[in-house]
Amino acid sequence: PPEGHQMLAKMASSFDEASIYRVGRSYLGKEIWAMDLMPAVSATHWSHVKATTFKPTVVYSARQHANEVSSTSHVLRHAELLLTDPEQREKLNKVNVIVHPFTNPDGAQLAYDLYTTNPDYILHAGYLGSLGQDASSGGNDSHPIYPESTVRGRLWATWLPDIFLNPHGYPSHQVVQLFSEYTGLVRRGRVTERNWGFNKGWFMPGFSFIDNPSFPRHKDAAFQIRDYITSAINSNREVFEMNQRNYARYRRYGVDFDPDIFRLPMTDSVLIQMPLKGSSGEGGGGYNPRVTIWSGTTEAPDETAYGPWMELIAKAGLSWDQAILNYLNDGDHKVNRSGSHFFGGVSLRMSRPRPPGDEEGDQSSVDQNPRRMLLRYKP
């Protein structure tokens, strides 16, 4: 974490478009930082709500499971390119970008300390928070044990983003549980966990989308996002070839023997585990769909990764980062303005349809408080 935070500080000190701030502390007292990327602000008064009304916003929140190391690398590289590459930098005129490289700094530090001794181990001790539970545990409680568990919720409530991203990882090589007669990975009695037992390339373990007449554009937007993702992943030749090698191996030694456990549902040559149907967006299991139109997670074989392998799988993560940004950048986002007057005053209302388009549908069944936020984390 110190190295990653130092990189944030260097970017903030070198570029007016970058501003960093502390968003919390971990259970062990480690500072947690985030960085906003947008054109330099010279005004004396400034509002997050106005900023995210005038332009779409995306949050990249990495390293919840801190031995899954590549997400920090690719979100920081994404930030660097947005500041140094003129073509990428132009996108900050149309999209607000928030980078949060460490959700679980205690686990990240432990994983790094273990890596210095055993760099080829999976280092699963760093996966969890400092007390042996997920660092997101209790995030919705009034007094959570892990103070870091509330950081994502506060980032969401501050920025009200269109998209919230949560990249993950999994073992980069085969998992064997000693003295288990080679059963492969089994956790909490779930034999389906065996499908994590060996490398299956870069993939998405789920792809949630909202299918509800109250949100008539959300489903199409989600499938557009999926097209952006598969195109970006396949456009990187090294990533594409890595995926196809690992998909083929996974099919040969997994799918062909036990298709109920080992599955390869493909979308445009990319492994994306699609649901049978969309959600209503009304069950309280995720972000408010009136605000956040889509949230996603990924899996990269990065437990653990370093050197050329880290560089390769971080390229996959970077392609995903840029695909989401390109989707927002290409959108026809329009701010609707309306006004009214009353005795002694006037009111001005500004809103931006999410996803872009004419406002349609009856949203009366949905909580009308846009700051309602229920966290969705990887189980």
Quick count: other Cβ atoms within 10 Å of Cβ 110? 21
pLDDT category of residue 327 using cuts at 50, 70 and 90: very high
Q: Which of the two residues, 362 and 80, has the higher pLDDT score?
A: 80
CB 229 within 8 A of CB 270: yes
Mean pLDDT of 341-358: 90
Report cis status (omega within 30 of 0) of the bond before 355.
Answer: yes
Q: What is the structure's pLDDT at 371?
A: 43
Which range has the worst mean pLDDT, 25-39, 135-149, 227-241, 275-289?
A: 275-289
The pLDDT of residue 173 is 84
What integer pLDDT is reported at residue 233 of this predicted model?
A: 98
Average the pLDDT over 114-132 and give the result. Answer: 94
The answer on pLDDT for 187 being more than 70 is no
The percentage of residues in the chain with a pLDDT greater than 90, rounded to a whole number, is: 80
Q: Are 42 and 57 in contact (CB under 8 A)?
A: no
Residue 213: per-residue pLDDT: 95
Burial 55-75 (b: 16+ CB within 10 A, else e): bbbbbbbbbbbbbbbbbbbbb
Can you give the pLDDT at residue 369? 46
Q: How far apart are CA 222 and CA 229, in angstroms?
A: 11
C-alpha neighbours within 13 Å on the C-beta side of residue 106: 20
Per-residue pLDDT, averaged over 369-377, amounts to 40
Q: In the predicted model, is pLDDT for residue 110 greater than 70? A: yes
* pLDDT at position 362 over 50: no
Distance between CA atoms of residues 231 and 229, nearest Å? 5
Assess contact for 34 and 76: CB atoms under 8 A: no
The mean pLDDT of 351-358, rounded to a whole number, is: 91
pLDDT at 364 over 50: no
Identify the residue with better confidence: 367 or 31: 31
- The predicted pLDDT at position 344 comes to 85
What pLDDT does residue 193 have? 74
Q: Using pLDDT thresholds of 50, 70 and 90, give the confidence band for residue 376.
A: very low
Residue 42's pLDDT band, with cuts at 50, 70 and 90, is confident
Domains of the chain by start residue, with CATH = 2-351 (3.40.630.10)
Q: Cα(155)–Cα(291) distance, rounded to whole angstroms?
A: 13
pLDDT given at position 40? 92
Confidence of residue 197 (pLDDT cuts 50, 70, 90): confident
Q: Rounded to an integer, what distance in angstroms lies between the CA atom of residue 78 and that of residue 89?
A: 11
CA distance 148 to 129: 9
In this predicted structure, the answer to whether residue 372 has a pLDDT above a threshold of 50 is no
Looking at every residue in the chain, the average pLDDT score rounds to 91
Give per-residue pLDDT as tens, 237-290.
Answer: 999 999 999 999 999 999 999 998 899 999 999 999 999 999 998 866 679 999
pLDDT band for 184, please (50, 70, 90 cuts). low
Q: What's the DSSP call for residue 41?
A: P
Comparing 58-67, 171-180, 218-227, 359-368, which segment has the lowest mean pLDDT?
359-368
> What band does 198 get if pLDDT is binned at 50, 70 and 90?
confident
Q: For residues 161 and 167, what is the distance between their CA atoms, to the nearest angstrom?
A: 16
Mean pLDDT value of segment 291-301: 97
260 vs 363: which has the higher pLDDT: 260
Cα 168 to Cα 63: distance, rounded to the nearest angstrom: 7
Q: Report DSSP state, residue 222.
A: H
